[in-house]
Amino acid sequence: MLGHRHSSLWHMILAPTVWAVHFCVVYGWTAVQCARAGGPDAARTGILVATAVALVAIVVLGWKAWKQWDYLDDFDYVHDQPTTEHRREFLGHAGWLLAIVSAIGVGFNALPAIFIRSCL
């Protein structure tokens, strides 16, 4: 389904997808824990676990995108030719940048774990 890394846009958007899933899980988990179950301590624990899993996934995806970009090989950050190499490097470059933004977003999504004191 995902295809090759150099020809599929799915690899480029996997990190933002992890961020979106993390967002839904964190706020859904917090709502359920505060409404019915364990309270703020259980919510905080779930947020920290989900954040750790999401950050590990984003780091792995970012590393794969960095390797695909292959910047250190030729220090080329311009990918404007209609060739397979430029397409592959562009998708890797964009995937790497999206992984950075996604990691920052996951960090902001985890802020309730720091600030939650009660479920009122």
Give residue 87's pLDDT band: very low, low, confident or very high (50, 70, 90).
low
Kindly tell me if the per-residue pLDDT of 113 is higher than 60. Answer: yes
* The model scores a pTM over 0.75: yes
Contacts of 39 (CB under 8 A, 6+ apart): 33, 118, 119
Burial of 35 (0-12, 13-18, 19+ CB in 10 A): exposed
Kindly tell me if the per-residue pLDDT of 5 is higher than 70. Answer: no
Q: How far apart are CA 44 and CA 30, in angstroms?
A: 8
Rounded average pLDDT over 75-86: 59
What pLDDT was estimated at residue 100? 96
CB of 69 within 8 A of CB of 89? Answer: yes
CB of 2 within 8 A of CB of 10? Answer: yes
